[in-house]
């Protein structure tokens, strides 16, 4: 059946939100959407991960209750708005679906191809990609005008920013609908053009990569580099500690997008970063990266 688009210029009313990917980012997005009053459907390829995400969200909401950020009633209502599962067919009635899968273009493209037939014609699609071309991702869908980037920062419940990125085909109604949604989630938006890594990661990841080069070349140790940037540049977290928090595989993926997309040697991923990823030392999520997290106090691995 041919897709019937909403009238040009019409804003989509958002009541139900789908989230694809129940990892750290997806669960955080589901968390803030549910607390903002939206019905949320959270999907993951792993039923175990989808169920675990609900537990993570409940634990994070508990912390918000203890800090006086939300009430017990708001927590209960928020959790009651989230359902989880493993299939894309659960998004049949969603007004917008936000993809938060791995930072891998092939995986994302496959998801969007499978997702589109499940959606109603008026549904919008957003990608939480931190670096990949929105225009390229939109091109595999049946609705590039209704597709855009909505890049949340980690951890989503705490970080105020959402980067909004139009693809070449994104229409103004889609952009304005998503901008208003971001406002209702209590986020501040920054609009970025569709260039590799957008604004935040275009600036942040080369700094992290340079910190890895500084370690690789023996200019300083892990602790010296992080201490220097925390106390010398007033950063709340050192760049290598931050890399571990982001995930070294994600850092490498973003640097590779920058290097491939901009063809400038200054974006070449540091060989040491590549080596850590090859070793499976991906950072805090696996217990080892530039720090070893097997004890209460993280210990530098170099």
Residue-wise pLDDT for 154-166, tens only, equals: 999 999 999 999 9
Look at residue 9 in the predicted model and tell me its pLDDT. Answer: 60
For residue 39, give the nearest of 14, 20, 59, 21 by alpha carbon: 14
Q: Which of 130, 131, 182, 209 is catalytic?
A: 130
pLDDT band of 7, cuts 50, 70, 90: very low
Q: State how far the Cα of 172 lies from the Cα of 285, in Å rounded to an integer.
A: 38
Task: Specify the pLDDT at position 4.
Answer: 44
CA 122 to chain centre: 24
Please name every residue paired with 97 in a beta bridge, in sequence order, or none if there are none: 18, 125
Please tell me the total count of domains within the chain: 2
Catalytic residue among 27, 94, 127, 201: 201
- Describe the crossing of helices 248-262 and 239-246 by its angle, rounded to 10 degrees: 100
Same domain, 154 and 242: no
Cis? peptide before 155, omega within 30° of 0? yes
**Are both 62 and 90 inside the same structural domain?**
yes
Q: Are 40 and 82 in contact (CB under 8 A)?
A: yes
Q: What percentage of the chain exceeds 90 in pLDDT?
A: 95
Q: 99 and 188, same structural domain? A: yes
* Span 258-283, average pLDDT: 97
pLDDT for res 211: 98
- Report the alpha-carbon distance of residue 114 to residue 139 in Å, rounded: 14
Mean pLDDT of 195-199: 96
Task: Check residue 11 and give its pLDDT.
Answer: 83
* Whether 83 is catalytic: no
User: Is 234 designated active site?
Assistant: no
- Mapped onto helix, strand or coil, the DSSP state of residue 224 is helix
The answer to whether residue 120 is domain-embedded is: yes
> Of the listed 103, 151, 209, 241, which one is catalytic?
151
Q: Check if 201 is active-site.
A: yes
Average pLDDT, rounded, for the chain = 95
Q: What is the pLDDT of residue 164?
A: 98
Q: In degrees rounded to 5, what are phi and psi of residue 228? A: -60, -45
| Residue 205 structural domain | 201-300
Q: Which of 99, 103, 163, 241 is catalytic?
A: 163
Annotated active-site residue 130? The verdict is yes
């Amino acid at each position: 059946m041919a897709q019937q688009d909403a009238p040009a210029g019409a804003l989509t009313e958002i009541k139900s939100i789908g989230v694809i990917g129940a990892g750290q980012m997806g669960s955080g997005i589901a968390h803030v959407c549910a607390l903002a009053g939206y019905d949320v459907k959270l999907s993951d390829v792993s039923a175990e991960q989808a169920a675990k995400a609900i537990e993570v969200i409940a634990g994070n909401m508990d912390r918000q209750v203890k800090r006086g950020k939300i009430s017990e009633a708001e927590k209960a209502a928020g959790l009651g708005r989230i359902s989880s599962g493993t299939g894309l067919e659960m998004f049949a009635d969603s007004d917008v679906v936000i993809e938060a899968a791995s930072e891998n273009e092939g995986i994302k493209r496959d998801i969007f191809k499978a997702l589109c037939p499940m959606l109603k014609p008026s549904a919008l699609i957003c990608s939480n990609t931190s670096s990949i071309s929105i225009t390229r991702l939109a091109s595999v869908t049946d609705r590039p005008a209704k597709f855009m980037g909505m890049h949340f920062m980690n951890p989503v419940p705490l970080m105020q920013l959402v980067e909004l990125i139009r693809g070449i085909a994104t229409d103004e109604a889609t952009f304005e609908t998503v901008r208003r949604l971001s406002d209702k989630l209590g986020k501040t938006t920054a609009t970025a053009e569709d260039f590799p890594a957008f604004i935040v990661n275009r600036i942040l990841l080369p700094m992290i990569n340079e910190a890895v080069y500084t370690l690789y070349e023996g200019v300083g140790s892990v602790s010296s580099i992080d201490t220097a940037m925390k106390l010398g540049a007033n950063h709340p977290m050192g760049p290598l500690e931050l890399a571990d928090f982001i995930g070294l595989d994600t850092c490498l993926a973003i640097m590779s997008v920058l290097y491939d997309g901009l063809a400038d040697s200054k974006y070449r991923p540091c060989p040491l970063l590549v080596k850590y990823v090859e070793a499976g030392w991906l950072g805090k999520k696996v217990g080892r990266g530039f720090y070893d997290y097997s004890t209460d106090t993280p210990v530098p691995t170099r």
